[in-house]
Amino acid sequence: MKTLITFAMACALSLAAQPDARSAADGTNTSTAKSSYVVTDKMAMYMSSGNKLQLRFSKLSAMATVEVLNGPRTLYRNSIDLRKGANQLLDLSQLEAGSYTIQVSIGKQTTTKTLTIGWNSERSFQLS
């Protein structure tokens, strides 16, 4: 069962990282999300279309804490019961340009990533 979940997460990530060929061809794409993503044995985190951060969690007898930080300020914090697994979609489109810290804690495991929002010729989101 764990192998099936891992395979399903990998498939979802590979699909999420594909650019929309139609919008790239006709120039209607108004923002870009780099295809950076994180996969652990407990969760997956990646930028999806529409500048949303997708979080997918395995079924665990644990709680997850998701935080979005801007320096010392906590902009978002949520605790999630993982007994049935969980999906969470965070709309980041209203955040101003800058660097943000995304922190996900499950038990003693903490995953920390930096989200950089910038402007070139268009708005860009990069998870690193």
What pLDDT is recorded for position 14?
39
For the stretch 10-52, pLDDT in tens is: 444 333 333 333 333 333 333 344 447 888 889 999 988 888 9
Of 76, 82, 87, residue with least CA distance to 45: 87
Of 100, 82, 98, residue with least CA distance to 90: 100
For the stretch 96-124, pLDDT in tens is: 889 999 999 999 999 999 998 887 666 67
User: CB-side exposure of 24: number of CA atoms within 13 Å?
Assistant: 6
Q: How far apart are CA 125 and CA 116, in angstroms?
A: 6
For the stretch 62-83, pLDDT in tens is: 999 999 999 999 999 999 999 9
Q: How far apart are CA 70 and CA 89, in angstroms?
A: 19
